[in-house]
Amino acid sequence: MRALVVEAGLAVVVAGPGRSVVTVPRRRRRGGWCAVEGDAVVAAIDSAGADAVVLARAPGDDPGATCLPALARLLGVPAVRLPADTLLAGWVLAVAAHPQFGDADLVRRLEVLVGAATAVGLPRRSVGDGPRVPALRPRVLARWAGCVWRPCARCAGGGLMGAACGRCGAPRLGLVT
């Protein structure tokens, strides 16, 4: 299974068996998190393997983790843009790390999942420390995401029709404005 690379602030929602999640160390400070170090990002991507996928929020949403998607692109590793909301980003990560989410077209499926989480949102209920996976099984979500993916006009990515691109964040994917 392909490994996922995320910064430590988001990785706390994933627990239990499933896809390998490699975390980029990030020190906690009073009132938030310190910036991610570039050397730590390169080491995490290297330990995750050549077929890893980086999941990171946009630079405007998490300025301290700006180097994560930039270094991923530089190293030739696909990077998927997580939602700005920490709860939604955690939900996407929890679904993606589930063993039933599968590896086939993983990047495309993640781009759709991000668009769905952003466009539709989630019920504001959680159990324990993190968000709950909705009633749909991850295998069903993966199959659906594989069917509805549409390409982006601005980049090589794509996502859910009517939502932002899961890679570059271009608004209203596939719709003429």
What per-residue confidence (pLDDT) applies to 70?
Answer: 92
Q: What is the pLDDT of residues 3-35, one digit of tens each?
A: 999 988 787 666 555 678 898 988 888 877 788
Q: What is the pLDDT of residues 114-141, one digit of tens each?
A: 988 887 765 544 444 554 545 678 888 8
What per-residue confidence (pLDDT) applies to 16?
Answer: 56
User: Which domain does 24 fall in, by range?
Assistant: 4-160
Tally of structural domains, the chain: 1
Residue with tokens 């679904």: 95
89 in a structural domain: yes
Provide the H-helix boundaries in 15-79.
38-48, 67-74
32 in a structural domain: yes
What per-residue confidence (pLDDT) applies to 175?
Answer: 55
Residue with tokens 């180097």: 67
118 in a structural domain: yes
57 in a structural domain: yes
Residue 101 near residue 145 (C-beta atoms within 8 A): no
What is this structure's pTM?
0.84
52 in a structural domain: yes
Please say if the pLDDT value at position 54 is more than 60.
yes
145 in a structural domain: yes
165 in a structural domain: no
33 in a structural domain: yes
